[in-house]
Copies of this chain bind each other. A is one copy, B any other.
Amino acid sequence: MDDILGRKQSILIADVLLNGKIADIFVKDDGIIGATGDGIRREYKGEAEVIIDGDGAVALPGLINTHSHAAMSLLRGYADDMVLQDWLSQKIWPLEANLTPDDVYWGTKLACLEMIKSGTVAFNDMYFMMEDAARAVDEAGIRATLSYGFIDLFSAEKREAECKATENLVRHIRTMNNPRIRSAVGPHAIYTVSKEGLQWCADFAAREKIGIHIHLSETEKEVNDCIVRYGKRPAFLLDECGILTPHTVSAHCCWLDETECVLLGKRGVSVSHNPSSNMKLATNRAMPYPWLKAAGTNVCLGTDGCASNNNLDMLRETKTAALLQKFFWNDPTTLPAHEALSVATVHGAKGLGLSTGILVSGAPADIILVSARAASNTPHHNAISNLVYSCCGGDVLTTICDGRILMHDRQVRDEGMIVAQAATAAEELVQRTQSA
């Protein structure tokens, strides 16, 4: 098994369901899809170093998680069922104050493992000590866009340090020279970053030609405070600071009004929907998908961090998105299965500026195979419906990213070691915090 995991190699995936038809997929040894179609196995059998028997599995572009704080996997289950402010100040922040670079490394390793096991091939992450997150992603074999969470708390002194930290991360990732790993600028939110900070982030992102990752209108309080402080709604403030661009991913967006949705559509901003987190923390409003869709905004999907979800399973999140949108907007036709699956795949790829998210010749080989033999994927009336409404990450058998097989028959390299090390790191983190 270890022979075929992790290496770049030519791969023939035989007998899968691709866009509703039986097909084979040939992946060249440069990590690009060479051909797809029924019966192409005859042509490529000799050329392929590895042959995977798809056994009728559904082939899908790898899932794209457009909003996460991967290292927070170490905080999974540490505190739940609390009011936001208590949860943050009594539980999350004290633990985070004791996080070490090694914790971020092992937390991100655990998160990458969980993502590979549930079919995610790329994620958009904001946290700190991101150099250590980058090391974990490099080893894991998936794609990530990493941003340092820029929080100046309206202080000029702190701002300078945050600019420095942002510059350092961007420089570091450039030095890594790994095409799977990109950097972005991560102004945390309008209630933690000054206008000057936001403007610096926008300028720096434009100068470096990298993306922006920000939290936007997660709570009603954020909107009300913004109107009091700035006399305008959050999206208009961000626009004034240059933050709204076609390379910007704004997470949550529960409390946008219709004019803000139109503005985001006009600026080409991507919106990351985080339904589980919004429900768990009771934001009291669902991201306005119908308005964002009407405005032509690129809506994609994210899990948020494990402290507020508490998993990274994008198939589960896709269902939660489809269900929450129907329920909140009181219309069972809202966010139908095929749209929900696009939100989790090709829209996510667009949001992160990736050419993946679609399985065609010439596209990167970011491919997952979902078992057609699972009870939850039976019968086979509609593969897309089954994927969105019935299956979950555990039904993914194979995860391929950039032409490398990262999971086969649900086996991932070093899984036991990663789980054990992350569990130990989390335990020690709590001990350090409690004895501090």
Contact = CB atoms under 8 A, between A and B. Distances in A.
Contacts of A194: none
A419 B282 contact: no
Interface string A369-403: 00001111011111101100111111100000000
A177 interface: no
Nearest to A423: B379
A141 to B, nearest CB: 15
B77 A389 contact: yes
Contacts of A316: 316, 392
B279 A78 contact: no
Interface residues of A, number: 74
A423 B383 CA distance: 13
Contacts of A82: 332-333
Nearest to A277: B323
A276 interface: yes
B426 A282 contact: no
Contacts of A425: 379
Nearest to A429: B379
A332 B280 contact: yes
A306 interface: yes
B320 A427 contact: no
Given A282-B331, A392-B394, A311 B416 contact: no
A280 to B, nearest CB: 5
Given A381-B430, A392-B394, A376 B114 contact: yes
Contacts of A323: 276, 279-280, 320
